[in-house]
Copies of this chain bind each other. A is one copy, B any other.
């Protein structure tokens, strides 16, 4: 039972050290190169993915009363995979039955088992990449990285933070109170970490693994059984995850029902059914503000961690590397067709333009330059699709196609034909120019490849808009471009006031929409876009409690 803990002690220690200094560290290589993962890994992963198609995904879960599943790839094909439909009473009872032994195993054993699960997920990264690609619509390399190693790093991060927080309190203590000339009063005390109950993880379709793993592994590492409820459009990546977790738990001598899958067809209500069950004590959710708020309102018996919509903002003032800024912005807007919760939406630009080494660039000129940078980045269709991926659903498509009604289109969207998947809907980003006094247009999230070039009377006013908008509507990311230290300082102050992470003058290979596990927090919990961050102590400390006992001793 301690074998995995022993085997992974060094990994855990390394993760803890990385969290303490927050320098660069990654446990899982992000390159899908054959030199890293082996010559045959890509082909085997594809074959493993294809072997799921058109079949039942067997999980041997108790209370299986039917089969559901209707996933269709954003690239066109139906997956045809079906998953167990669960009798929740039976499933939750089985999960709870497995809990005491998992609790009694303690934080170190649990961390070891969790790391083993992630390691095995890592070995199946190519299979996972295909599964993520054909549910989220991400391009292959991104699906590999964000759905595989980057998600695995976030999982390991959550395991490490959970371990650290559970072990802040010693397992035992000797308490010796002096009594003057009489002998001291001596007590022996025991402190035990106890889980809260069942954790529910509600997945999203765009990042089925990356956004689910922190909650899944934080809950599990803290002793809670976890029920995984994927988005109906993104079940397969989490089904693979659950099946690996069940296999490792059983090998380690624990009940495999500590991790279960509850799938449903589109339009189902099982997430809400589960979220208000008295057995469910922790809920993790990524998705719409409306449903996140519903969960916060109704899942009163649980600690609820939500990541919701936001309005990401970039304040443009000046730069000493105009080309670098443009290509960085272009990449951020194009990556996965802007379907990231971290994609910038509003580019705030002073009406009289921005200062560059080549002089002031007016708003129209900047828009033209940004359009050219996007074109240069994307190139021909066959390259473009490797960055854009596919539009994930009709709602996103509708927003791109309707963007022209919102203001002046200064960078038009272009339809791209996918050479391998002619049914895939691929669009380049549209940029719409709109004035600062139209927050009805730019002041709410417009998810997808739609950005607004918002003209403001000054940079200072842009910073004030950032402060106000993020405070009121939330944001996952914010950025500033300025060569003026006073402007950068003002941006930092605005970001602190609004509670959003700030990226300053990104002109190289780091993008505002990317965050690095072990160093960057994802979200802050300090603005309406999310009530917690991946992964700080707050994110894990509500997933367990400490119960003590005490007795006199000699």
Contact = CB atoms under 8 A, between A and B. Distances in A.
Contacts of A504: 549-551
Given A24-B175, A510-B187, A551-B504, A192 B496 contact: yes
A427 interface: no
A506 interface: yes
Contacts of A185: 508-510
Nearest to A172: B22
Given A173-B519, A510-B552, A537-B537, A547 B23 contact: no
B547 A22 contact: no
A170 B536 CA distance: 12
Contacts of A509: 179, 185
B22 A189 contact: yes
A520 interface: yes
Given A22-B189, A196-B526, A502-B549, 15 more contacts: A23-B175, A23-B176, A24-B175, A100-B497, A168-B537, A177-B516, A179-B509, A185-B510, A189-B519, A194-B526, A500-B547, A501-B549, A502-B547, A536-B545, A542-B542
A174 B506 CA distance: 16
- Specify which of A185, A187, A191, A525 lies most central, judged by the most chain B CB atoms within 10 Å of its CB: A187
- Specify which of A174, A499, A520, A537 lies most central, judged by the most chain B CB atoms within 10 Å of its CB: A537
A549 B492 contact: yes
Interface of A: 20-24, 100, 103, 165, 168-170, 173-179, 185, 187, 189-192, 194, 196, 296-297, 300, 492, 495-497, 499-510, 516, 519-521, 524-526, 533, 536-538, 541-542, 545-552
Given A22-B170, A189-B520, A549 B165 contact: no
A165 B537 contact: yes
Contacts of A189: 22, 519-520
A505 B551 contact: yes
Given A21-B170, A192-B496, A546 B533 contact: yes
A533 B550 contact: no
A298 to B, nearest CB: 11
Contacts of A24: 175-178
A548 B536 contact: no
Contacts of A178: 24
B526 A22 contact: no
A525 B545 contact: yes
